[in-house]
Structure 1
Amino acid sequence: MSEHWDPAFEGLLKEILPRLAERGEVGPDISLKAVGLDSLAMVEVLMTVENTYGISIPDDDLEPEVFTSPATLWALVDRFRESQATA
């Protein structure tokens, strides 16, 4: 596990993207597209992240760059976890 995110995040990515799971450890800069992230998987990742963390990410924040790597996706998730926890 990376020190950048919790085990649930890594687990959900591995569950949705089996080719990512085959790599073993999930590095922060792995291309999610290279391990099978397509538009359907993107929706599944988003829904699972929102349900797992009890957050709601507005469509305006869902730029394609967010889904570049585990690190870019986690940065968005973590930002909303923090902002919605203080709200």
Structure 2
Amino acid sequence: MTIEPWDPHFEAILRTYLPELPPADPLPENVRLANLGLDSLRTLGLILDIQEQYQVTFTDDELNPDTFATSASLWGALAKLTAEPR
């Protein structure tokens, strides 16, 4: 699956919650974020930071494991939220 390139703010935020991703490594699209250190507590912080940075709110339907499975799935959900009229 090819996705639109994410912006640097998204990557910077996400990287702060991935302790197993070395700083010099690229952020992979389809590696499970849990394998890179994203746990339930970090996910809560990530949600808050993304919502604040992008001025969006994740709906209950979007707050599921599939949304936060990979960087690509999270970016896809965020892109959808930012494209919706406010």
TM-score interval, smaller chain: 0.7 to 0.9
Structure 2 residue 37 is the aligned partner of structure 1 residue 39: no
% identical aligned pairs: 30
Structure 1 spans left out of the alignment, 5+ residues: none
The aligned length equals 84
Show structure 1 runs of 4+ deviating over 6 A. Answer: none
Q: Distance in 2 between matches of 1:8 and 1:29?
A: 19
Q: Distance in 2 between matches of 1:31 and 1:49?
A: 18
Give the C-alpha shift of residue 23 in structure 1: 5.5
Counterpart residue type for residue 62 of structure 1: L
Correspondence list, 1:62-73, <5 A = 62-73=63-74
- When residues 72 and 38 of structure 1 are mapped into structure 2, their CA distance, relative to the original with a 3 A threshold, is same
Does the Cα contact within 8 Å between 2:17 and 2:37 map onto a contact in 1?
Answer: no
**Structure 2 equivalent of residue 80 of structure 1:** 81
TM-align CA RMSD:
1.7
Structure 2 spans left out of the alignment, 5+ residues: none
Q: Secondary structure at the match of 1:33?
A: helix
Give the C-alpha shift of residue 24 in structure 1: 1.5
Q: Distance in 2 between matches of 1:14 and 1:40?
A: 15
- When residues 33 and 54 of structure 1 are mapped into structure 2, their CA distance, relative to the original with a 3 A threshold, is same
